Amino acid sequence: MQVLLLQDVEGLGHAGDVKKVADGYARNFLIPRLLALPATPGSVKAAEQARQAKIRKQARVLSEAQALAQIIDGQTVSFQARAGEGDRLYGSITNANIAEALQAKVGREIDKRKIELEEPIKELGAHTVTIRFAPQAEAKVIVVVERED
């Protein structure tokens, strides 16, 4: 029996694939668990259209991410913070602070989870921070932390 997989099935295939399986496996396991449907010309065509739409959406999201990365790349963001001895901050500069400052500077929403900061910045000076919007779209931002008067 030919089935159209609705979800990834380990050892069989990925969602959208058309596979030939034993009748009992399809009737007793795949179809009742909504992992697959019988492969009819209509369902195969609908799955292909959905796959094409997904590819177009991924391409659009990637191009938007690359455009945003190009806008942000090389930007400098400055913060004023209280610091003690040894130029250590009393508080810290976090992903959320950086995202908020960039958002105010470029006028576009920045997701704080995209900012790769291993730990919050706790020292005065210039720090280079990477923002990864997509695997092929990343930007480097310089974060300058100065002593508050």
Q: Which domains does the chain have, with CATH numbers?
A: 2-58 (3.40.5.10), 68-147 (3.10.430.100)
Q: Among residues 136, 81, 139, which one has the least CA distance to residue 105?
A: 139
Q: Which amino acid, residue 26?
A: A
The model's pTM is 0.71
Dist. CA 98–CA 79, nearest whole Å:
9
Q: Which amino acid, residue 36?
A: A
Q: Which residues pair with 121 in a beta bridge?
A: 93
- What is the tens place of the pLDDT at every residue in 86-114? 889 999 999 999 999 999 998 889 999 99
- What is the tens place of the pLDDT at every residue in 66-81? 999 999 999 999 999 9
